[in-house]
Each structure stands twice: as structure tokens, then as C-alpha cells.
């Protein structure tokens, strides 16, 4: 294979959650540019998905793109996303479990049962249900399929600010290997583990303070730019990774933990709170 064909996605149908902004949007644009035949963009809010779908349809006419609402923390919404994809394309070659989030909390003792359950549902329950549905269908397809999970460096650099989120995403790391074994050999399942990226959420960051941490704990001494997730996504989505499954790829600039991976939205002593 040559550089022109190794990441080719011609005729591929892709479904991506959390696809309307940030890293998800970058992946959608890259998939279309690489020749994808169809993309289903899913997110909790319908309008941003439809706006991006229109943009992609205009830029890449070969890629039929639709936007649909889906709250992946809800089992039935996951079912509906699967049925929508099958109704529109009758198959899916690549599923990207990108939707996720880390809700704020003032301390560990202040984490409510509702917040705990919500965080696990969004970051683990949804990807499990979607992987189960799409993976089973991919097993019946002539060319199988690829599932791409999105984890976080917080799973290997634990911190109090992301305790619940990191625990849920740790489940994604396990799920990646479990799905790879459950649905192989026709289906590959891999995981991208990003570090800090300058997406929409970074607008709330104190960048000068963060930069001190990146200088000390990140080999490249900076956060990632959104488009820098694309190479990993194209690798796992394409035949370039045809002998890769159950893998977790760190895309974190060579991070080694420390303050460079702390969520800058938090302040205070996170383990303490009121009973």
C-alpha cells in the first residue's frame, strides 16, 4: 500500500457519536476527505449534527452524511441510532464511540448518586450498548468492521478531579479488549487514548498555568491541536490497521502524568466535602 491508499475509506459507512464538535468534528471531516461513502453524525443536540452534515455534504458530495440526535447514556437512544443507521445504509463499517464527558463536582463527598450514574452511563454504558449492536451486525458483513473507542489519559494518570470519569473510561479500555475478543475475527476493536486537546472545552482553561504543567510533564510540551487526532482515527478506521485489534493507542504528546493532566476547571481539595 502507498501513502495515497493506506488510509483510504472509499465505500465505508461510518457512525460516530459526539461527532458535531471538537475531536468528533475533526474525525468526521477527515473520514469524508478520505473517501467515506456515508457518515451518521450523532450527538445529544440535533441541530449541530445537521449543520455539520450539510457542510460535509457540500464539501464532499460522494459522502452522504446525516445528523441525528442521540443521548448515548440512554439505552433506547442507542437502539434508535443503530436502527437509523441500518435504515439509511443497511450496514456500518466503522463505529466511533466518541461521546463522553466529565461533569464537575466540588469534592468526592459531594458526588451524588445521580451524577455518578450519569457519568458511567454516558462514558461506559452507551459505548457498551452501541458496540454490542453494531459489532453483532458487523460480524455478518462480508468485510466485517471496525469499532473505535475514545478513552482518556486520566485512566493511567488518576486524579481526584476526574475520578468518576476516569473510572468509566477505564472500563472503556477493558471493553475494547473484550469486544475485540468477543467479535473477532470479523470485527476489530481499538481505542484512542487522548491527552489534553485544545478543543472547545479548552476555552475555559488557564493556558499559562497549564503550560507550566505541559512543559514539565509532556514530552512535546504542549496540548494537542484538534486535527492531530485524525491520524490515529484514520489508522483504526482503515485497512492500515488490518492486523491491529484490542489495542490502546496513547495520543498525548508523550505525557507522563502530573499537573499536565489535571482538569483546570477544578480548584480546591477534591477529596474533601460535607457529609
Could you give the count of Cα atoms lying within 13 Å of 57 in the half-sphere of its Cβ? 12
Confidence of residue 219 (pLDDT cuts 50, 70, 90): confident
Give residue 59's pLDDT band: very low, low, confident or very high (50, 70, 90): very high
268 has pLDDT over 70 = no
127-165 pLDDT, tens digit per residue, is: 999 999 999 999 999 999 999 999 999 899 888 888 999
* Average pLDDT value for residue range 22-51: 97
Q: Is the pLDDT of residue 246 over 90?
A: yes
Evaluate whether 161 touches 106 at the Cβ level (below 8 Å). no
Distances (CA, A) of 140 to 90, 136, 180, 184, 238: 12, 7, 15, 12, 19
| 199-217 pLDDT tens trace | 777 666 677 777 888 788 8
Active-site annotation, residues: 165
Q: What is the pLDDT of residue 270?
A: 46
ω into residue 80 within 30 of 0, thus cis? no
Model confidence at 93, pLDDT cuts 50, 70, 90, reads very high
C-alpha cell read off for 93 = 463499517
Is the pLDDT at 258 greater than 80? The verdict is no
pLDDT at residue 236, as a whole number? 98
How deeply is 275 buried, as exposed, middle or buried, from its count of CB atoms within 10 A (0-12, 13-18, 19+)? exposed
What are the domain boundaries of the chain? 13-261
* Homologous superfamily of the 13-261 domain (CATH): NAD(P)-binding Rossmann-like Domain (3.40.50.720)
Which letter does DSSP use for residue 197 in this model? B
CA distance 64 to 57: 6
Quick check: 174 pLDDT over 50?
yes
Amino acid at each position: 500500500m502507498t501513502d495515497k491508499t493506506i488510509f483510504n475509506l472509499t465505500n465505508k459507512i461510518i457512525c460516530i457519536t459526539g461527532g458535531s464538535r471538537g475531536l468528533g468534528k475533526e474525525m468526521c471531516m477527515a473520514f469524508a476527505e478520505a473517501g467515506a461513502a456515508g457518515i451518521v453524525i450523532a450527538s445529544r443536540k440535533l441541530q449541530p449534527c445537521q449543520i455539520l452534515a450539510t457542510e460535509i455534504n457540500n464539501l464532499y458530495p460522494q459522502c452522504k452524511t446525516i445528523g441525528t440526535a442521540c443521548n448515548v447514556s440512554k439505552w433506547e437512544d442507542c437502539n434508535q441510532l443503530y436502527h437509523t443507521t441500518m435504515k439509511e445504509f443497511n450496514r456500518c463499517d466503522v463505529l466511533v464511540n466518541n461521546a463522553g464527558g466529565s461533569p464537575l463536582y466540588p469534592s468526592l463527598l459531594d458526588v451524588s448518586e445521580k451524577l455518578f450514574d450519569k457519568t458511567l452511563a454516558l462514558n461506559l454504558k452507551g459505548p457498551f450498548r452501541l458496540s454490542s449492536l453494531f459489532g453483532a451486525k458487523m460480524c455478518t458483513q462480508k468485510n466485517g468492521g471496525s469499532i473505535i473507542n475514545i478513552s482518556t489519559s486520566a485512566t493511567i494518570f488518576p486524579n481526584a478531579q476526574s475520578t468518576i470519569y476516569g473510572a468509566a473510561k477505564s472500563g472503556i479500555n477493558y471493553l475494547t479488549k473484550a469486544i475485540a475478543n468477543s467479535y473477532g475475527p470479523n470485527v476489530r476493536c481499538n481505542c484512542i487514548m487522548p491527552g489534553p486537546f485544545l478543543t472547545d472545552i479548552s476555552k475555559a482553561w488557564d493556558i499559562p498555568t497549564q503550560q507550566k504543567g505541559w512543559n514539565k510533564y509532556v514530552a512535546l510540551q504542549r496540548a494537542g491541536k484538534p486535527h492531530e487526532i485524525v491520524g490515529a482515527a484514520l489508522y483504526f478506521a482503515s485497512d492500515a490497521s488490518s492486523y491491529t485489534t484490542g489495542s490502546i493507542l496513547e495520543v498525548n504528546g508523550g505525557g507522563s502524568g502530573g499537573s499536565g493532566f489535571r482538569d483546570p476547571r477544578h480548584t480546591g481539595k477534591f477529596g474533601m466535602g460535607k457529609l
